């Protein structure tokens, strides 16, 4: 296989060029490069053969690059700076990180994102709220935090369980008292809209049935977000299956007398290998934040 255009000299030849230009002495340049004098001279000869000309002239202060090679010196210095940057520890990371998460979790995790941003100031976090399970590759998302674990076509993803999210049936105290007075067995239900494709995920919440909580009735409202369901629930509009941590934010809400709770699971799904320091910190901090939620 051939390459078009001129070849680039090897980096050790360019380093030899810079060292001799800076120090003017083969002996000093070789010592600082950690090589012997003959090796440095050989590298300079190879570089001169590459360019087909002499690169250095003897001056009063020692060897100096020819006066017409200022552009070559500048190019070599830029290459050195780029190489130095490449060798630095990039575990801290720099760039834009795209995270997809349900709105109620985005709000709860806001302190984590803020703390992570302070620790890694070169990272910019773009947080979008999802009402369905985005395809990380197709939708150009780096990390998703969701109540489901991908089961198929996930070979390129890293998946980590963050913790359990307790879900129960909630209503306002006023609604439950009114239902008890009327001896209603069929309730007004506030349901999550789960019409999006999720069959390729282990999605515990989607498999929950109202009867599991001792409930039956007619769906009155649907939403693709827990937030409006919780608000409608607090307004006395019916019963909803809500995460315990979210229901705790509404003083009007109480658990249904059946007192049944089911542990669903929150997962971090990433296109990264989760080896960089900021990636490990993100997962650890999310887990630590979840540990403080009502369970």
pLDDT for 2 equals 42
Contact status, residue 201 vs residue 130, Cβ threshold 8 Å: no
pLDDT of the chain along its 295 residues, tens only?
Answer: 444 556 888 989 999 999 999 899 999 889 888 899 999 999 999 999 999 999 999 888 789 999 889 999 999 888 888 877 666 555 566 789 999 999 999 999 999 999 999 999 989 999 999 888 888 888 889 999 999 999 876 667 899 999 999 999 999 999 999 988 877 678 999 999 998 888 889 999 999 999 999 899 999 999 999 999 999 999 999 999 999 999 999 999 999 999 999 999 999 999 988 888 899 999 999 999 999 887 7
pLDDT for 113 equals 95
pLDDT for 90 equals 52
Of residues 76, 55, 71, 41, the one with CA closest to residue 29: 41
Contact status, residue 92 vs residue 120, Cβ threshold 8 Å: yes
Q: Is 271 exposed, middle or buried (0-12, 13-18, 19+ CB in 10 A)?
A: middle
Residue range 11-88 in CATH 1.20.1440.130: no
| Six-digit token string for 69 | 């090679």
For residues 83, 88, 91, 96, the Cα torsion angle rounded to the nearest 10 degrees is -50
Burial 230-257 (b: 16+ CB within 10 A, else e): bbbbbebbbbbbbbbbbbeebebbebbe
pLDDT for 189 equals 95
pLDDT for 294 equals 79
Domain boundaries, the chain: 11-88, 94-294
| Six-digit token string for 252 | 């009007």
Give the separation between CA 260 and CA 169, rounded to whole angstroms: 7
Task: Assign a CATH topology to domain 94-294.
Answer: D-Maltodextrin-Binding Protein; domain 2 (3.40.190)
pLDDT for 91 equals 57
Give the separation between CA 247 and CA 241, rounded to whole angstroms: 10
């Amino acid at each position: 296989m051939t390459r078009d255009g001129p070849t680039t000299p090897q980096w050790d030849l360019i380093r030899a060029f810079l060292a001799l230009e800076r120090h003017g002495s083969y002996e000093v340049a070789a010592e600082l490069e950690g090589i012997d004098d003959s090796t440095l001279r050989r590298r300079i000869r190879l570089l001169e053969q590459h360019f087909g000309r002499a690169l250095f002239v003897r001056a009063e202060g020692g060897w100096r690059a020819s006066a017409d090679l200022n552009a070559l010196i500048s190019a070599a210095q830029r290459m050195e700076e780029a190489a130095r940057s490449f060798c630095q520890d990039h575990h801290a990371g720099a760039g834009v990180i795209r995270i997809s998460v349900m709105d109620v979790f985005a709000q709860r995790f806001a302190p984590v994102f803020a703390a992570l941003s302070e620790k890694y100031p070169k990272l910019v976090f773009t947080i979008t709220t999802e009402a369905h399970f985005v395809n990380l590759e197709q939708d150009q998302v780096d990390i998703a935090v969701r109540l489901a674990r991908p089961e198929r076509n996930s070979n390129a993803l890293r998946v980590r369980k963050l913790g359990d999210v307790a879900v129960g049936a909630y209503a306002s105290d006023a609604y439950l008292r009114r239902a008890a007075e009327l001896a209603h067995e069929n309730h007004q239900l506030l349901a999550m809209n789960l019409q999006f494709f999720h069959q390729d995920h282990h999605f515990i919440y989607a498999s929950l049935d109202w009867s599991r909580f001792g409930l039956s009735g007619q769906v009155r409202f649907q939403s693709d977000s827990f937030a409006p369901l919780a608000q409608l629930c607090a307004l006395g509009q019916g019963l909803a299956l809500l995460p315990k941590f979210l229901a705790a934010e509404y003083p009007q809400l109480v658990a249904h007398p059946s007192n049944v709770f089911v542990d669903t699971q929150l997962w971090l799904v990433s296109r990264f290998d989760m080896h960089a320091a900021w990636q490990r910190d993100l997962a650890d901090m999310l887990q630590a934040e979840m540990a403080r939620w009502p369970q």
